[in-house]
Structure 1
Amino acid sequence: MPANTRPSSSSGDIAPSRYPGERLGLPESGAHSVGRVGRRIGALVVDWMLAMLVSAMFFGSDAWANTAIFAIMQMVFLPTLGGSIGHRVFGLRLIRVTGGWVGPWRPLVRTILLVIVVPALVWDSDQRGFHDKVAGTVLIRA
């Protein structure tokens, strides 16, 4: 191997980030930084509790109804409010990585993957779940 060639790393030769969101051009902290785990879990709990409340009122707390109501809330509020009710309560907002409106298909794809659960548990160094990577979105602090 030539002296000026280094072996390929398993990470695809991408330099590690110093902080989540650095490679996306986001600040390390404060407004517009990547929403951290605590806020995201809190938002998820709020959204799930709201879905359970609506389900209990109309469907007797049926598990499928809980999931469907949760998904509908995500697909309606992400493109219209910039985040779910839980996101807004915890000061989070969903944006496209490339900027602009998230549109209707990104929330749909993101929600389907979120409901499956496993993609949301696979994260990169920017603390973006696979559901956000596929949808081309990132959850930031508002």
Structure 2
Amino acid sequence: MTTTTNAKVTAVTQNVENFLKGQFSQAQKRFEGLEGEANKAFKVLETRSQEAAKEVQALWVKVQAGELRTDPRVQELSKKVDAASVELRKRLDGLQARVVEAVGVASQSQVEQITHELGRLSKKLDVLLKPTRRAHGATKNSGGAASSPRA
């Protein structure tokens, strides 16, 4: 029985060994295939990065030379940025006005309007008070009774 058992164990061992060799061989082939694909992908990426580096370098040269300003795409982009900036400024001004209004403080434009109106009223008041000041100044100079200063 020992011989038969040894023969069976040897046959099973041989079968397991052959199975494992087959599996290892297939795994090695798959690995080699993946390695080949990875190398191809790496070469493609390397080529793309070199092309991108050349494009960046060319753009940098153009930026330094000021050539990009004449590029229609850059001009169009500049217009869009300016328009967005104007729109943003309008929205921020509107928001600021609403916040100032909610707080109960005069806005900058309201302060400018009030200052303008005060200047206009001050001029009118000066024109109206000039005859009174002259008449009041004449009574002081003529030796009449001086009025007491007002507080």
The answer to whether the superposition gives a TM-score over 0.5 is no
Q: Which has the higher helix share?
A: 2
Q: Which has the higher strand share?
A: 1
Q: Which of structures 1 and 2 has the bigger CA Rg? A: 2
Bin for the TM-score computed over the shorter chain: under 0.3
